[in-house]
Amino acid sequence: MRKIFRKNNKKNKKMINKTSIYTIILIPFIFFGCAPKEKIESPDTAQTYEKPGTVEAEITPRSDDLAIIRKEEATPSKETDAQKIYTDLWVMIQDGLILERNIDNKKVKDKIAWFARNQEYINRVVKRAEPYLYHIVNKIKERDMPLDLVLLPVVESAYQPFALSPSRASGIWQFIPATGKRFGLKQNWWYDGRRDVVAATDAALNYLEALHKRFKGDWFHALAAYNAGEGNVERAIRKNKKKGKKIDFWNLRLPPETRSYVPSLLAIAEVLKNNDKYNIKFNKIKNEPYFEIIDVESQIDLATVADLSNLTMDEIYTLNPGFNRWATDPNGPHQLVIPITKSKEFKTRLKKLPKSKRIVWKQHIISKGESLGLIAEKYKTSISAIKESNNLKGNLIREGKSLLIPTAKESNKYYSLSADSRRFRDLKTSDGKQYTYIVKRGDNLWDISRKYGVSVKQLARWSGISTKSFLRPKQKLTIWIKEEESNASNQTKAIANNLPDSDYVVKEGESLWLIARRFDIHVVEILEWNNLKKNTPIQPGQILKMHLSKKNEEESRDAIVLSNQKITEYVVKKGDSLWLIARRFDIHVVEILEWNNLKKNTPIQPGQILIIQKVLSDA
């Protein structure tokens, strides 16, 4: 037994020794094999890579395992947007595009093809967008909205801050007056918030957020509603539901412009995302602030701003396109957008400038027969500015008294992009109201039409060319622009801002509706004051009694509301269509047809009166 025990004891010792040896050998493998992978960040690329363990495994891996390991070693882990550092805003936008682009859809394909063969157009858009892009990108990111929306002004206005559509939509976000007011954009003689890039961007994003919520998170429906009005999109959805049809954007019956609108946005997004594929270049825009918003606290002449900032008038107006005239609005906003490179110098100089020198003042002695309206017209200022400067509560002024008038520091031509200067910029005078535009390299009909607030069809018709014509540099185009009716407006202001009871002399071509519109009153009131029956014709030279109460100075309206009726009479203008009118009033074309007993595709004529069964605060 002792022999057996000793023998077994020797065997056990050998086994223990072998186990210990194996354990000692395996410890390094266990230790290093279980160690976490070390992360290394490349300073050049700012990307995170995973470094595998440094000790090789004892067992040789299978070939497919080796392929996986090599693939993991070769491929860096994907970065989040927060980690990635962008120097080019277009690259940031590329990475932030999230909307499904539907590139197999025919309309999207056609739009992609158009963008892909128009590098010059892209270049112009990029150049126009440069001052605004950083601000807009960051405002969208703050709200956690899709960066695809940065491209919406490309579709709306080609990033032209002074773009004006035939339906009176204005600015890079193309707000019509009523929608602009609905979202808090001030509009008056001095200032139009629809063109103020900072104010309009906030308003546009508020509107898009509201639409996104209203259409239960469907961005395509929201975008269609931004273009056509939410009422039109909701009606189209209801009709499809009733018929058991699909209610996605692609299956809705919407106006032709809207059916092309969303595909245009998707197309430019696709071309940007895969610009190498389409051989299109987006010139770099630095990912850094371009401008600073400075509160100047009171009215200031824009010529003085140019002097203090060493900027040209074109640069001042391009960064501050909301200002219509030679100065900021007396009642605000008093914010100016100044390039970062000039802002420090501007603030220093502004601080040293006495407030009395911000505006040039002139003393005016009131002559017999003058009114605040006539005086305002003479000095290119507003009635409200004169009243505020002279502490006037009413509109009555007396001969021989003096008024202090805020006036422009320079001549009208100096204010190169004011509302008056823009109206005829780049135009050569021809006969009457006809003007000639000389085509420049890179011009197209759409850009030119938006610049002067006409339609492409009108521009093509006036110039005797096709809407699809290619333009040649130095080619001449004909443009018709309505002149300001200075004599009529002078008389209007003289009456409206003088005695409450006055006479008005009818001019050739006028109607009761035009006169009522000019004075912001109802036709019914003119009929009552002059004991006239409805539809009574009036003659040039006829005198009408005008019993006018104090009126606020507003822009003239395109429609009037008849008293005691929820009906609006709309007078069709040249270039109008039923779709444009429906969009303006946020109604459907079918409703206009029903209210006016018209058949589908019935042509409408300038001067024709249409009934709109909706009371509006502003059209």
Q: How far apart are CA 465 and CA 31, in angstroms?
A: 81
Q: What stretch of H or E contains 379?
A: helix 372-379
Q: Is 288 exposed, middle or buried (0-12, 13-18, 19+ CB in 10 A)?
A: exposed
Are the C-beta atoms of residues 538 and 516 closer than 8 Å to each other? Answer: no
Q: Which listed residue (156, 230, 377, 510) is catalytic?
A: 156
Of 510, 502, 508, the C-alpha closest to 544 is 502
Mean pLDDT per 10-residue section of the chain, whose length is 619 residues? 47 49 48 38 31 31 34 42 83 96 95 94 95 97 97 95 84 92 92 96 96 96 94 94 95 92 96 96 96 94 94 94 92 94 95 90 86 84 83 85 86 80 58 71 78 78 77 82 45 40 67 67 76 78 68 34 46 79 75 74 78 49
Pairing of strands 427-429, 360-365: unpaired
Query: Where along the chain do its domains lie?
Result: 2-74, 89-273, 291-414, 425-480, 558-619
Q: How far apart are the first and last CA of the chain?
A: 116
Condensed to tens digits (0 to 9), the pLDDT of residues 185-234 reads 999 888 999 999 999 999 999 999 999 999 999 999 999 999 998 989 99
The backbone torsions φ and ψ at residue 569, rounded to the nearest 5 degrees and listed phi first, read -95, 125
In 3-state terms, what secondary structure has residue 37?
A: coil
CA–CA–CA angle 399, 543, 387 (5° rounding): 35
Q: What topology does CATH give the domain 425-480?
A: Membrane-bound Lytic Murein Transglycosylase D; Chain A (3.10.350)
Predicted pLDDT at 425: 61
Q: Is the overall model pTM greater than 0.85, yes or no?
A: no
- For domain 291-414, the CATH architecture is Roll (3.10)
Q: Is 569 a catalytic residue?
A: no
> What is the spatial distance between Cα 372 and Cα 393, in angstroms, rounded to a whole number?
12
Number of neighbouring beta carbons within 10 Å of residue 95: 14
- Residue written as token pair 């409450």: 500
Measured between alpha carbons, how far is 223 from 262 in angstroms, rounded to an integer? 7
Distance between CA 497 and CA 387 in Å, rounded? 11
Residue 272, class by beta-carbon neighbours within 10 Å (0-12 exposed, 13-18 middle, 19+ buried)? Answer: buried
Environment class of 557 (CB within 10 Å of its CB; exposed 0-12, middle 13-18, buried 19+): middle
CATH architecture of 89-273: Orthogonal Bundle (1.10)
CA distance 432 to 125: 34
Q: Please tell me the distance from the alpha carbon of residue 218 to that of residue 216, in angstroms, as a whole number.
A: 6
Residue showing tokens 């040249």: 574
Portion of the chain with pLDDT greater than 70, in percent: 73
Fold assignment, 558-619 = Membrane-bound Lytic Murein Transglycosylase D; Chain A (3.10.350)
- In 471-614, alpha helices (H): 486-496, 512-519, 523-529, 578-585, 589-595
Distance CA 136, CA 128 (A): 13
Q: What is the DSSP string of 303-371?
A: HHHHHHHT--HHHHHHH-TTB-SSB--TTS--EEEEEHHHHHHHHHHHHHS-GGGSSEEEEEEPPTT--
Q: What is the 3-state secondary structure (H, E, C) of 148-176?
A: HHHHHHHHHHCCCCCCECCCCCECCCCEC
Alpha carbon distance 288, 286 (integer Å): 6
The confidence score (pLDDT) of residue 4 equals 45
Measure the CA–CA gap between 245 and 238, rounded to whole angstroms: 10
425-480 and 558-619 in the same fold: yes
What pLDDT is attached to residue 130?
A: 96
Look up residue 268 and give its two tokens. Answer: 């430019």
User: Quick one: pLDDT at residue 534?
Assistant: 75
